[in-house]
Amino acid sequence: MRKKCIVTVLAMIFSLFVLTAGGVAGELDAFKGQRGTLKISGGTAHIPVMKEAAQRIMSAYPDIQISIAAGGSGVGIKQVGEGLVNIGNTGRKPTDDEIARYQLKLHQWALDGVGVVVSPKNRVKALTKAQVMDIFTGRINNWKGVGGENRKINLYTRDEASGTREVFWEKALDKQPISPSANVVVSNGAMKSAIAQDPYGIGYVSVGHIDRTVAPVALDGVIPTIKTVKEGKYKIVRGLYSNTKGEPTGLTRAFINYLYTPEGRKITEKEGFIPFP
Amino acid sequence: MSDWKERGAEKIFLLSTIISSSITLLILGFMAFMALPLLRGGLFYLLTEPWAPQQGLYGIYPMILGTAVISLLSLLFAFPLSLGCSFLISSIGPKSLSAAFRRMVQMMTGIPTVIYGFVGIFLLVPVIRELFQSGSGMCIFTASLMLGVLIAPTMILFFCDSFDRVPRSYIDAADSLGANRAQTLLYVIIPLARKGIFIGVLLAFGRAMGDTLVSLMIAGNSIATPGSLLDSVRTLTAHIALVIAADYESPEFRSIFACGLVLYLFIAVVILAVRRLAFRESGKRA
């Protein structure tokens, strides 16, 4: 009972925010009369957009509960395929095998880049693709080798379920094996805080997650930003997908449609991604 | 009527005992069954190969080594600390101070491990990185220190309990023979409390080995075989957490059952060994 009260109060506060921020409830009309829970899991790059969208929907329609969990693209596919969640997010295109096995329907709603990041304290701010390959495969293991301080390079990579890792490995490393001594972190957020903490670290995150705490590294002279991704200059690019098992219906359908509305696209843009299509 | 009731209750208790004990065995059987396709490829290879899925190698040797080193080292850090703490609490500290300490330690056992991991990332990792100037600071050493803090309260409480059970008259006798406090501890309390100490250590060791979050957050999780205490390493538990998202049918996924199996057997061996020691000890005295 008390929990319900708190939720209601929160919802009221949020709706106040939405109203004062001038948000038009028009695009949320599709949720009218909807109730129940919507479960989302998977890709960690998607989370800021999912959270913002969920917050707006839930504050306008308190009968709707949306839960968002992380886990990585692999988890997203598995859980949506097993029917544990309604939407499984992936930061890579699901493989043909996965699509066939789980009858997945793909909904791509954004473009994203995967950028190499270092600590802002690091003076190395540009690398060639060959240097990035040498660093991540372990052939170069001191910052001196690429014009930095005489300190060991601390590599950070992502776990096996990560779509970000898959894309980076395929497009930046040309599928060369990442050094086994690399540290492994479990989300884009964790990667960001690890690199922000470690002045001698290097890792890669979704471009949407790059902020002041980490410094993007120019790859062959192109700095990974929304602009360079959009213009097609930055090459390590991927789609962000929300996948459903079969055609989505009801609340799931409404949520996915919402991502494509002008308001949904605005959220996508605000969180640092490029709305697609 | 009451006879019938009693027998009924007995049956129910027997049933629940059988169920709970068979679940442990069923879990073992389940893990063995799921890991079978990999085990058939050769248990030896599984236990000695490195982890390199792209080359078709699914060995868990680096993780076994990581788990063993981290949990033993954390025990090494925590054991003297706990022994000292519990001696202070149970005998030499002033009453009010020991009561406060005991309460604090009790509270520490309830702190979720994620908080230790969190504190480790922000406080311990940067210190270790700058102190040794080698690697990222996420390493065996850091994780063991943090795990040591995590398991110490368990040990302290167990040690305290067993120290408290040492009969007052024995300590009085030692006092009247002119033994100082250190002598009393070494020659009277510790030998009498040996069994409690063993059990405390056993439980703490099990906790260190089974902990997932601390090592997942601050041990670094690299898949390389560690060469020094400052190397990033992945424990069996962290490995399970990291690989569980892999495809159900893949050998990667199968391998986490092998991890579970190894962990299970590890703990079983430790428990059996320490039990034997503890029993032999009490048998001798009786």
What does R_g of chain B's alpha carbons equal in angstroms? 23
- Chain B residue with CA closest to A194: the answer is B121
Classify domain B46-285 at the CATH topology level.
MetI-like fold (1.10.3720)
Please name the residues in contact with B86: beta carbons below 8 A apart, sequence gap of 6 or more.
B155, B156, B157, B159, B160, B163
Gap between the Cα atoms of A80 and A39, Å rounded:
9
Beta bridge partners of A118: A202, A215
Torsion of CA A135, A138, A142, A146, to 10 degrees: -30
Judge residue B13's burial from the number of C-beta atoms within 10 Å of its C-beta, 0-12 exposed, 13-18 middle, 19 or more buried: exposed
Look at residue A23 in the predicted model and tell me its pLDDT.
Answer: 45
* Residue B142 CB neighbours (<10 A): 29
Q: Are strands A64-71 and A36-42 parallel, antiparallel or unpaired?
A: parallel
Looking at every residue in chain B, the average pLDDT score rounds to 85
Predicted confidence (pLDDT) per residue in B61-80, tens digit = 888 899 999 999 999 999 99
Predicted pLDDT of residue A1: 46
Sequence-distant (≥ 6) Cβ neighbours of residue A102 within 8 angstroms:
A77, A80, A81, A245
Mean pLDDT on B268-273: 81
- Across the interface, do A184 and B222 touch by the CB < 8 Å criterion? yes
- Is residue B158 scored above 80 in pLDDT? yes
Residue B55 in this model has a pLDDT that exceeds 80? no
Above 60 in pLDDT, residue A16?
no
- The whole-number pLDDT of residue A3 equals 52
Computed over every residue of chain A, the mean pLDDT equals 83
Chain B residues lying within 8 Å of A184, measured CB to CB: 220-223, 234, 242
Q: How far apart are CA A124 and CA A143, in angstroms?
A: 8
**pLDDT confidence of residue A35:** 80
CA neighbor of B69 nearest in space, from B219, B198, B213, B201: B219
- Across the interface, of B54, B136, B223, the residue whose CB is closest to A154 is B136
* CB of A76 closer than 8 Å to CB of A90: yes
What pTM, to 2 d.p., does this model score?
0.76
Complex ipTM: 0.74
CA A174 to chain centre: 22
pLDDT tens track for A151-161? 888 899 988 77
Q: In this complex, do A180 and B138 lie within 8 Å of one another by their Cβ atoms?
A: no
Q: Most distant CA pair in chain A: distance in Å?
A: 62
Residues 6+ apart with CB under 8 A from B174: B183, B184, B187, B188
What's the pLDDT tens digit per position in B127-150?
988 888 777 888 899 999 999 999
Angstrom distance (rounded) from CA B190 to CA B84: 12
Question: Do the chains contact at B136 and A75, CB–CB below 8 Å?
Answer: no
Report the pLDDT value the prediction gives residue A179, as an integer from 0 to 100.
87
Locate B221 and state its tokens.
Answer: 């999780």
Q: Cβ of A245 under 8 Å from any chain B Cβ?
A: no
Q: Give residue B145's pLDDT.
A: 93
The mean per-residue pLDDT over the stretch B21-41 comes to: 83
SS (H, E, C) A209-272: HCCCCCEECEECCECCCHHHHHCCCCCCEEEEEEEEECCCCHHHHHHHHHHHCHHHHHHHHHCC
- Minimum CA–CA partner of B133 in chain A: A151
Residue spans per domain, chain B: 2-41, 46-285
The per-residue pLDDT for range A27-61, each reduced to its tens digit, is: 777 787 778 888 888 888 888 888 888 888 888 88
Residue B278 has pLDDT above 70, yes or no: no
Question: What's residue B280's pLDDT?
Answer: 65
On whether any CB of chain A is under 8 Å from the CB of B246, the answer is yes
Q: Does A101 touch chain B (CB under 8 A)?
A: no
Q: Tell me whether residue A260 is exposed, middle or buried, using C-beta atoms within 10 angstroms of its C-beta: 0 to 12, 13 to 18, 19 or more.
A: middle
**pLDDT confidence band for B211 (50 / 70 / 90):** confident
**Residue B82's pLDDT band (boundaries 50, 70, 90)?**
very high
pLDDT in tens, A169-202: 888 888 888 888 889 988 888 899 889 888 889 9
Q: Residues A91, A112: contact at Cβ < 8 Å?
A: yes
Q: What is the pLDDT of residue A267?
A: 87
Indicate yes or no: CB of B245 within 8 angstroms of CB of A193: no
Query: Chain A contacts of B133, Cβ < 8 Å?
Result: 151
Q: Under an 8 A CB cutoff, do A184 and B234 touch?
A: yes
> Given A152, A160, A185, which is nearest B246 (Cβ)?
A160
User: How far from each other are the two terminal CA atoms of chain A, in whole angstroms?
Assistant: 43
Which of B52, B138, B242 is closest, CB to CB, to A159? B242
Domains of chain A: 35-112+239-275 (3.40.190.10), 113-237 (3.40.190.10)
Residue A78 near chain B (CB below 8 Å): yes
End-to-end CA separation in angstroms for chain B? 42
What pLDDT was estimated at residue B148?
Answer: 93
- B19, B21, B26, B29 alpha-carbon torsion, rounded to 10°: -160
Contact A180 B223 (CB under 8 A): yes
Interface with B, mutate which of A104, A173, A181, A185 (most B CBs under 10 A): A181
DSSP state of B89: I
User: CB neighbours (10 Å) of residue B224?
Assistant: 19
**pLDDT (0 to 100) of residue B282:** 58
Predicted local distance difference test score (pLDDT) of residue A43: 84
- Is residue B121 less than 8 Å (CB to CB) from chain A? yes
How distant is the alpha carbon of residue B125 from its chain centre?
22
